[in-house]
Structure 1
Amino acid sequence: MSITQVLRPSSELTVSATPKRQWWRFVALSVCLAVAIYFNVVLVNIELPPSNTLNVLYSFVTPWLFSYLPYLVASLLVLATPAPTRRWRWLELTLIIAGALILRVILLSALPHLSRDSWRYLWDARVTLYGYSPYVYPPNSPVFDSLRDVIYNNSRFHEVPTIYPPAAQAIYLLSYLIAPSNLLVLKGIFIVFDLVTCAGLAWLLHRRGLDLSRCVLYAWCPLPIVEFAMQGHLDVITLTFSVLAVACSFANWRGNRVMTGFLIALATLTKFYPILLLLVIVRRRDWAMLITCFATIVLAYVPYLILGHGSIFGFFATYASEQTPDAGIVPLLVSWLCNALGSDKSLTQILIYLVDLVVLGGVSLVIIWRRWRRQLGVEAGALVLTAAIFSISTHIFPWYTTALLPWIVLLIGPFWTRLHGLKSAGVAIGIAWYFVCIAPVRYLFDYLHNWPLYYQLVYAGPLIALALVAGVVLLRGRARFRWLVR
């Protein structure tokens, strides 16, 4: 098999594996899992001091990046070989799901040294149970002097209220009620959500007629494993509800549109951007889904409206307007251009808002148009909208990029085929996969402060590749137009 076929979906391969030879891929995946388990054992045994330094981060991030090797081998093996049949299909899926659980449980007991957000989750739950709104009172408020303990000491941003929406707060409360101040329980709940995401992706792959084992691209990816099982980031909940919403939108049972709207609302109530899923899922006169979605969001905020006397967004507005070096490509380019022209800070911020609105609005209109003309799938629309959100974001932390991964699992295809040549969609999705895989290096640049190098690694290469692909597509389109004219 040529290297240009490495990323060919299993359903497109014309060669079918004979039952007698299907065992070898299972064995190869088992070996990859064993190597991945070894790297996770190494990671969990790295003793990191409370305060991170560049050397400390190197000692953790380096083996973390090396753990991508068995993951990439397993992913390319699944993508480049025919899907198994009969019992081998279910054996492989069982191996992948069981491996996903093992890889996450290994890291469950490790303290979240790279990010301390999960400690803040428990603090928000404690504040709410004491009858205060986390959207109003920052942790360093004098009313909480008697509540300060290890949770307060390990959390950050004591001077600002929370930014996490109500559905996320509900999960924090559930964890706190099960075991107060126990971070292990909270991360255990996150692992359950993550396994549901894996199962949801397997179902969507089955519906598309693709190899179920392609869910290994998410299940064994080191980024969500470390960020959710070890660091304990709430984005795992967002991904689960988003995947379930898309899966539910394809169902035919009575009430599925109401459930789809409810799931989109739950995803939005953990992070705000999943509300854009309505653009790719909504149908004409889909009132049941829309009413359910917005009614759920409003009702979820009612308790905090009462508790906080109308204040429900906390620190979010300030957080979303910050200018940071790890921002998306759009605010970075606008800031660079404004600085070159000598614009002041306020004008630069206004221009960033305007350009963000144009980018997101333009992409949204294109998505709606192509969806209503049935020229774009739900998963592709979700990927494009998520990429658009990242392009205008003021922060792109490594765990944010996991939002791309479920749609990459469902869409990734060949870069090149003998019949059609270059596949622009395959290249674009491959670039998104690269963006996810390179994300852990972001931790190092907080101390290196060599942000131009970061931009070259994360943005320059992918943008150049996309520009070349766009050029090829335009040339191909012009050649086809000339042929039609003749």
Structure 2
Amino acid sequence: SFGLARQRVLIYAWHPLVVWEFAGSGHLDAIAIAFIALALLAHRKNADIATGVALAGATLVKFFPLVLLPALYKRWSWKLPLAFTITIVVAYLPYLSVGPRAAIGYLPGYANEQGLISGDQFYVLSLARKLFGANVPTAAFIIFAFVLMSAIAAWVLLRDRGGDSYLKRAVLLATAVTILFAPHFSWYFAWLVPFLCFMPLVSLFYLTAASFVLYGTWLGDTPNQMFRLNSFLYVPFALLLVVELLVKRRRSAAIGAPGSQNNCGIAAPEMTTGSQESLER
């Protein structure tokens, strides 16, 4: 359906994180991934309402998929956001009888338990505290993360939307929010695995596969312990990503350079002035 080789689905099906966390542990993130796949497929078929409903389904399971909205939204179209909003509201209506606070369940306690309040959860914040001192407030990082994600979302919304560019932008949004949030448990990285089928990046594969290192910790570990484990996860990812971007840029420059290879892989000679005149005659 996406014009790609069917074998690419094996990247997801055989990924060790997917096998371990879903087939082995049964985490419900698999449901969110199913809805994300439906949303991507519906967007490809220009079904805005179905895209909104599917994306809302994913967001109702996990909050992360919400960031994909800018990548799937068609400028000046009301169908997707309306379908998304209605689906969220209708799904929450049966639970509002217990009150708005009770409807969100254990979310406030989870935020405190996971170090979201203290900031210990966030690797980027921990790195900033290491570099600039421990006085960097959590609120400052939250504002920074919000501004950064807003800037990425604005860039995505303002860019041209031809072809399958929405897939690349979805990968960008999903990866950015995951890195900023820096989940404490490896299964939170599993929602990135389907995007490897569209963009098989070595850096992204490392990030998802190496997330198993987080099993070396648990709640109650010291900030220094978490920082060391997260460094093993994020520093190689960043280095691999930089290398991939440099290689891609170099290849793009080589393709656009005079004398670059043609579609047959043969170097095309530059046309001289004499040969141009001969063609004109």
Class of the TM-score when normalised by the shorter of the 2 chains: 0.7 to 0.9
Question: How far did residue 440 of structure 1 move?
Answer: 1.4
Native 8 Å contact 1:249 1:281 kept in 2: yes
- The 1:322–1:310 alpha-carbon spacing in structure 2 relative to 1, beyond 3 Å, is closer
Which of 66, 69, 73 matches 1:282? 73
Partner of 1:145: none
TM-score after normalising by structure 1? 0.46
Q: CA deviation at 1:230?
A: 2.4
Q: Secondary structure at the match of 1:331?
A: helix
What are the equivalent positions in structure 2 for 1:185-200 lying under 5 Å apart? none
Equivalent residue of 1:226, what SS? Answer: helix
| Deviation (angstroms), 1:336 | 2.8
Pairing partner for 2:238 from 414, 439, 463: 463
Q: Which amino acid aligns with 2:177?
A: I
Distance in 2 (CA, whole Å) between partners of 1:471 and 1:306 is 54
How far apart, in 2, do the equivalents of 1:390 and 1:461 lie? 16
Query: Deviation at 1:408?
Result: 0.6
Query: For the residues of structure 2 that align with 1:215 and 1:294, how far apart are their CA atoms?
Result: 31
Query: What secondary structure, in the 3-state scheme, does the structure 2 residue paired with 1:365 have?
Result: helix
Please list, as runs of the form range in 1=range in 2, the aligned pairs for 1:258-337 lying within 5 A after superposition.
258-308=49-99, 311-320=102-111, 321-323=116-118, 327-337=121-131
Aligned counterpart, 1:181: none
Contact map agreement 1:322 1:394 (CA 8 A) in 2: no
Cα displacement (A) at 1:265: 0.9
Question: How far, CA to CA, are the matches of 1:309 and 1:441 in structure 2?
Answer: 37
- What is the 5 A alignment of 1:40-55? none
Question: Which residue of 2 is the match for residue 242 of structure 1?
Answer: 36
Kept in 1: contact 2:32–2:58 (CA 8 A): yes
1:439 alignment partner in structure 2: 211
Deviation at 1:430, TM superposition (A): 1.1
**For 1:311 and 1:478, how far apart are their aligned partners in 2?**
56
Please state how far the C-alpha of 1:435 moved relative to its aligned partner: 0.9
Aligned-residue identity in percent: 27
Counterpart CA distance in 2 for 1:216 and 1:475 is 29
Match of 2:162 in 1: 374
Q: What are the Cα deviations for residues 397-431 of structure 1, in whole angstroms up to 9, with x where unaligned? A: 1111111111111222xxxxxxxxxxxxxxxx210
Q: Secondary structure at the match of 1:391?
A: helix
State the shift of 1:235 in Å.
0.5
User: 2:138 aligned with 1:349, yes or no?
Assistant: yes
* Pairwise CA distance, 1:239: 0.2
1:398 alignment partner in structure 2: 186
Instruction: Show CA shifts across 1:456-485 (max 9, x none).
Output: 4211222223344556678899999xx9xx
Q: Displacement of 1:301 after TM fit? A: 1.4
Change (3 A) 1:309 1:317: closer
The answer as to whether partners of 2:49 and 2:79 remain within 8 angstroms in 1 is yes
Report the Cα offset of residue 373 of structure 1. 4.9
Alpha-carbon distance between aligned partners in 2 of 1:477 and 1:250, rounded to the nearest angstrom: 26
AA aligned to 1:263 is A
Instruction: Give 2:51's aligned amino acid.
Output: T
Cα pair distance change 1:263/1:337, threshold 3 Å: same
Q: How many residues align?
A: 251
**Contact 1:235/1:270, CA 8 A, preserved across alignment:** yes
Look up the SS of the partner of 2:103 in the other structure. Answer: coil
- Is the contact made by 2:123 and 2:227 (CA closer than 8 Å) also made in structure 1? no
Note the C-alpha offset of 1:387. Answer: 0.8
Distance 1:328 1:386, change over 3 A: farther
Q: Judge conservation of contact 2:126–2:227 (CA < 8 Å) in 1.
A: no
Q: Taking structure 1 as reference, are residues 337 and 376 closer, same or farther at Cα in structure 2, changes over 3 Å only?
A: farther
Equivalent pair of 1:227/1:233 in contact (CA under 8 Å): yes
Of residues 153, 161, 172, the one that matches 1:384 is: 172
1:411 aligns with 2:199: yes
User: What is the Cα-based RMSD across aligned positions, in Å?
Assistant: 3.1
Give the alignment's TM-score, normalised by structure 2: 0.77
Question: Residue 329 of structure 1: CA displacement?
Answer: 3.6
Could you say what secondary structure the match of 2:75 adopts? Answer: coil
C-alpha contact 1:304 1:310 (8 A) present in aligned 2? no
Is the Cα contact below 8 Å between 1:334 and 1:348 reproduced in 2?
no
Cα distance in 2, alignment partners of residues 260 and 304 from structure 1:
24
* Structure 1 position 218, deviation (Å): 0.8
Q: Which amino acid aligns with 1:363?
A: I
Contact 1:280–1:368 under 8 Å retained in 2: yes
**Pairwise CA distance, 1:274:** 1.3
Q: Which runs of 5+ in 1 are unaligned?
A: 1-203, 413-428
Deviation track 1:69-97 (CA, whole Å, cap 9, x = no partner) reads: xxxxxxxxxxxxxxxxxxxxxxxxxxxxx
Q: Say if 2:117 and 2:138, in contact at 8 Å, map to a contact too.
A: no
